[in-house]
Chain A
Amino acid sequence: MTVAPSKPTRITNRIRVLRFGHDEMTQAQLAEHIGVTRQTVIAIEQGRYSPSLEVAFQIAQVFGVPLDEVFQYPDGSTGQ
């Protein structure tokens, strides 16, 4: 399951699913792990903010999965 982007980015993510798969980790706990505010985690989850590559890797590390298991980009979107 992926979270559909509600706008300005076409990047989708599975952060919500991964959080629930990790002992129902809260947004606040994830925010603390990666050093951002809870509001930023919410914005990333809802597709309202594309995180920097560094933050994206930090999120993937928290869940112990490769980056592309957290974030996806639709095929055929290059150059659009």
Chain B
Amino acid sequence: MSLQEKYKQLIDAATTSGMNVREQDNVLYINGEATNGATKDNLWNIYGQIDPDFRGSDVVMDVNVNDTMAGSKVKVNTDKSNLNIRKGPGTDQPIVGKAAKDEMITLISKTNDQWWLVRTDAGEEGYAYAEYLNS
């Protein structure tokens, strides 16, 4: 079965959401900017229905959720632990502060897709892993 057939539902949903979809060397690449987290979750749910264990090695889906702006407040979305705030963008960087789960902190700038520069209301400033920050 071709990738186009196997992932038809995912391709249709991604295209409808304005994603860029293309196939190269038997891998389906889906990428683009989503206006909200629900769009990304929906695409991952469809992908998970087609390949529940994600074993196919035939999809790379990089959807960037763009619903947070520099200067706005973001919510700490860890499972239960505190979120580390680091001196630089990387887990090899020293921890300079912590933010509690569900705490609202200020997004100063998006350094890259993985690391954002943030400040807590207590004045601790540094880099936090973007996956744990929501609008």
Tell me if chain B binds chain A. no
